[in-house]
Structures are given as structure tokens and as C-alpha cells.
Amino acid sequence: MNLFTIEEQHLICIFDTFTRAHLLTDMRICLPYIENNELKSIMLDVIKKIEMIDDGIFDVLPLDFANYYNKEME
């Protein structure tokens, strides 16, 4: 799970990850309202990464990060 940083994972969790298109749409809608430059930069990085992968890869990404980290702790 090296595609996203911890900060990016936390950000992704607040958006609709049902499909790649939903995630990109939700993030782009919110982007103009983000005033914090660090948060805006993280969001832009996530958008770029999601744009670079196709739907097939997105569909197999483990986007339930809580379950991912719980399994690693075992």
C-alpha cells in the first residue's frame, strides 16, 4: 500500500470512493473551497494519482484503510 501517503489515505476516506469517477468528481467539487494550502496540495496530489490509474486498478485498491491497518497489526 505505497500508492497513497497516510495523509492522502485520511483525505480519501471522507469522499465517495464507490467509483474512481465519484472520487474525482467529489474532490474536484470541493477543491475551490479549500483554503489551507497544505490540504489543497495533498488533494491535488491525490487527484493526480487517481487520474493516472484506470478504473480496473482503482476497483481493486484496498480503500478501506482501517481494515488494511488492522490486518497489518495482527
Q: Using the 8-state DSSP alphabet, how is residue 31 labeled?
A: G
Q: How high is the pLDDT of residue 73?
A: 54
Distance (Å, whole) CA 47 – CA 23: 9
Instruction: Summarize pLDDT for 31-44 with one digit per residue, the tens.
Output: 999 999 999 999 99
pLDDT of residue 20: 94
**Which pLDDT score is estimated for 60?**
87
**8 Å CB contact between 46 and 12:** yes
CB 12 within 8 A of CB 63: yes
Q: 43: exposed, middle or buried (C-beta count within 10 Å: 0-12, 13-18, 19+)?
A: buried
- Confidence band (pLDDT; 50, 70, 90) for 62? confident
Q: What is the pLDDT of residues 13-33, one digit of tens each?
A: 889 888 999 999 999 999 999
